[in-house]
Amino acid sequence: MNVFQAVKESVTAYDVATMAGLRPNRSKMICCPFHADRYPSMKVDVRYYCFGCGARGDAIDFAANYYGIGMKDAAEKLAEEFGILYDDAGKKDTGRKQYIARVDAQRRWILDKRKLFERISVLHDQLRKRIARYEPKDSEDSDVSPLFVCALKDVSYVDYLFEYCVFEATDEELRSEYEEMVKEIEKIEKRNTDTESELCGCDAGQIGERLAV
């Protein structure tokens, strides 16, 4: 598999945009870097498309245009950045096995990080639906469901976690805190499917307190 095929199968335009330091919102919209864009008009997903200037393409197109380099250079840059193995990629490497191990580790991290963001997004949607479902009809209603109270607490933490992961944390920080984040997310996911009585004693999680300092 050549470098173009390998990159196109492994990297999305969204991945390249975030690698470049751009910050997609929850709808995967960013300000287009290819024209004077004041408000987000570019959708970045597997491919990208700007509703303002019409720029479009895949991950390699995005990298080539963003960094002002040729297509092959862009593909090789992405292969290196995302740890993608392709034909002849390791010829210049004196340790082929070490190179493959490094690529595999980077590839696993990219997948883990992508799954983490997806879990946070799905959990946020589930909690918002729970809040809407159990929200008191009257602001003076004293009969408030513990499901509603717990969902409010949890969605606040999940919102914070999203902001931290996407806008604040470096890749190194995400790596070091990944396991703790997953544990906290699993706790919230469990509460989201538990009985009403079990939901009464929920909290925001130890990692939230530590990261918020």
Query: 81 pLDDT exceeds 50?
Result: yes
Instruction: Give me the pLDDT at residue 53, please.
Output: 93
Whether residue 17 contacts residue 67, with contact meaning beta carbons closer than 8 Å, is answered with no
Return residue ranges of the chain for CATH 3.90.580.10. Answer: 3-89
Instruction: Kindly report, residue by residue over 138-171, the tens digit of the pLDDT.
Output: 766 667 777 888 888 898 889 888 888 877 888 7
* Four-CA torsion 26, 163, 156, 147, nearest 10 degrees: 50
CATH class of 3-89: alpha beta
How many C-beta neighbours within 10 Å does residue 35 have? 13
Mean pLDDT, all residues of the chain: 81
pLDDT at 129: 87
CA 74 to chain centre: 22
The two three-digit tokens of residue 36, written as one number: 């004077």
Residue 124 neighbours by CB under 8 Å, 6+ apart:
155, 158, 159, 162
Question: What whole-number distance in Å separates Cα of residue 84 and Cα of residue 82?
Answer: 6
DSSP 45-86: SSSEEETTT--EE-HHHHHHHHHT--HHHHHHHHHHHTT---
pTM, to two decimals: 0.51
